[in-house]
Structure 1
């Protein structure tokens, strides 16, 4: 896991520039980055977004590479327990969902935090979501994602959605396996198991 990633990595991994996206929108914006690591990318983005966006970085490990200021708030916590105090215009997550146990709960929570026209963009590996017996969820999962308003590209491993919603899943979380080995990034990841 690259905890020191910089802003160009966000553009490359998510397929768009979060700063440019926020600057095209009217009024003050709020950007939440899940799994921000050291938050170097957020500190790099802050000058361009000063007075135009409030940036919040959430990370499970509070080893940040700077101090919070007027435009950057840093929070130590889990996407599965913490929640913002107001709707968010942009939620990004670069490779952080690979390490979450209940990935569908994380997607549901993040979707519920969006504004009516807000955007969620994250890296996502559908092959890491499996049935309780370890078999792949395959088309059942990708169909459920589409049904709940998500766009998923298996080639780029990107997931996105626009607009506030609380997705409904027919899968029940059955636990996680942190010993499955590397995923497509080459880093060890966590598999999420669900009962159908």
Structure 2
């Protein structure tokens, strides 16, 4: 097994395939709502009534269809204080997205993310399956939530291992539980409410992009730690 570094993963055919660069909408059958069990639009609208500015970050946003739909809906309702930011390594975003002043897309790996403010919502729909250092991304996302912010993303703990191949699921679940971070085994959903300082005490050593399929039925990346 040859482990890949974070930058080399960008060129992996597993990471850059069309199935990762999804075209999920915001609501409905093939949607963020279905995958995350959350109506993001309602969440943002409620937050927008409570605060001066609301920030939503979506990691591995694909074509950004859901984000464009959210921006359009908010604009039609006259809600101007929600800022939406989407990151994706492929950089193939929907046409017309530049017409929304509250929407920004970034073509880059999220491991290069250098946030300048805290977020009210951070989402990652199946994107963590393709990231090398999954634990570092999760730690950073949770640390950059507002005090009442929400992080939610799909995660398969079986894709996080020690160098000898040992599964870290039990250890990780205990760490998450101690920090009052929820992990839904049935839906493979990680949910954190409010900013937290989370430490896994594991060192990332590389990723295997030939790990095969996980529960999604798609080929994914295994992350290795020591």
Q: State the TM-score, normalized to the length of structure 1.
A: 0.94
The answer on whether the counterparts of 2:25 and 2:66 sit within 8 Å (CA) in structure 1 is yes
1:138 CA displacement: 2.5
Equivalent in the alignment of 1:5: 24
- Find 2:55's aligned residue among 30, 36, 40: 30
Taking CA–CA contacts closer than 8 Å with sequence separation of 6 or more, which of the two structures ends up with the larger relative contact order?
A: 2
Mapped contact 2:172–2:200 kept (Cα < 8 A): no
- 1:71 maps onto 2:78 in alignment: no
Q: Is structure 2 residue 200 aligned with structure 1 residue 169? A: yes
1:96 equivalent in alignment to 2:127: yes
Deviates more, 1:90-99 or 1:52-61: 52-61
Give the distance between the partners of 1:15 and 1:103, measured in 2 at CA.
21
Partners of 1:121 and 1:29 lie apart in 2 by 16
Aligned with residue 140 of structure 1, among 171, 174, 186: 171
| Structure 1 unaligned spans of 5+ | none
Aligned-residue Cα RMSD (Å) equals 1.3
1:127, distance to aligned residue in structure 2 (A) = 0.7
Per the alignment, residue 69 of structure 2 pairs with 44
Unaligned 5+ segments in structure 2 are 1-19
Structure 2-normalised TM-score? 0.82
Contact 2:21 2:61 in 1 (8 A): no
How many Å separate the matches in 1 of 2:40 and 2:111?
23
Q: Report if the CA contact (8 A) 2:161-2:222 is conserved.
A: yes
Highest Rg: 1 or 2? 2
Q: Deviations over 1:28-58 (max 9, x none)?
A: 3111111110001111111232313111111
- Distance (Å, rounded) in 1 between the aligned partners of 2:41 and 2:81: 10
User: As a proportion of its length, which structure holds more strand?
Assistant: 1
